[in-house]
Amino acid sequence: MAKLYYRFGTVSCGKTLALLAVAHKYERQGKIVVVVKPAVNNHGHGIDTVRSRAGLERKADIVVRELADLGDRAAALIRESDCVLVDESQFLPPDAIDWLRLVAVNYDVPVIAWGLRTDFRRRVFPASQRLFELADVLEEVKTVCTFCRRRAVFSAWLEGRERLVLEGDPNQAGADDLTKFQPLCPHCFERLAVRATA
């Protein structure tokens, strides 16, 4: 039986770049890939564009605003595919995760979703929570902290070099100004959090 995979990490850990590499490998073998992305978080490059910070990009086959976007057309595309790849899965509606789980179970098509573990406030996204609950395989995509060599586990919103933002819209992470969001280890996050609340 096919599986639902969740590959999670911080900002700038290479999630989208990994998705694009997987899509390339499948297509080099003559396999059919369906790329899904949420309608939000377009990085200023078009709502249907999946783009890595390294500059590589491709068009998404399915753009999801709400569960209804995963209707008959999406099901028909996916039934004929060899793999479903999901970018920025944390911004999907949580019920879309249930739908993707059924894709793996009912269509026997593997689904690999990439996304953030938590927002810049260190709170789990609803869709990420659902992926942690339903995924058959959980894999962390690792990177190092912006300020030290430790493993980054948090996506931080920084104004200036070291001013941490702790309140605001969680859907900002990954928005147009990509330099605002940086991966931090717990030690550096706490150091900056103390300054932010002082």
pTM comes to: 0.91
Say if CB 84 and CB 36 are below 8 A apart: yes
Give residue-wise pLDDT tens across range 140-154.
999 999 999 999 999
Q: Where are the domains of the chain?
A: 4-142
Give residue-wise pLDDT tens across range 20-78.
999 999 999 999 999 999 997 555 567 888 888 888 889 999 999 888 889 889 999 99
Choosing from 88, 139, 140, 167, which is the catalytic residue?
A: 88
Q: Going by DSSP bridges, is the β-strand pair 137-141/111-116 parallel, antiparallel, or unpaired?
A: unpaired
Please tell me the number of Cα atoms within 13 Å of 164 on its side-chain side: 22
106 CB neighbour count, 10 Å cutoff: 11
Whether 162 is a known active-site residue: answer no
- Residue 188 predicted with pLDDT over 70: yes
Q: What is the mean pLDDT of the chain?
A: 90
CATH superfamily of 4-142: P-loop containing nucleotide triphosphate hydrolases (3.40.50.300)
When pLDDT is averaged across residues 125-149 and rounded to a whole number, the result is 97
- Residue 83 predicted with pLDDT over 80: yes
Grouping H, G, I as helix, E, B as strand and the rest as coil, residue 55 is: coil
The residues, any chain, with a CB within 8 Å of residue 185's CB and separated by 6 or more, are: 144, 145, 147, 148, 150, 151, 152, 153, 154
Q: Quick one: pLDDT at residue 197?
A: 66
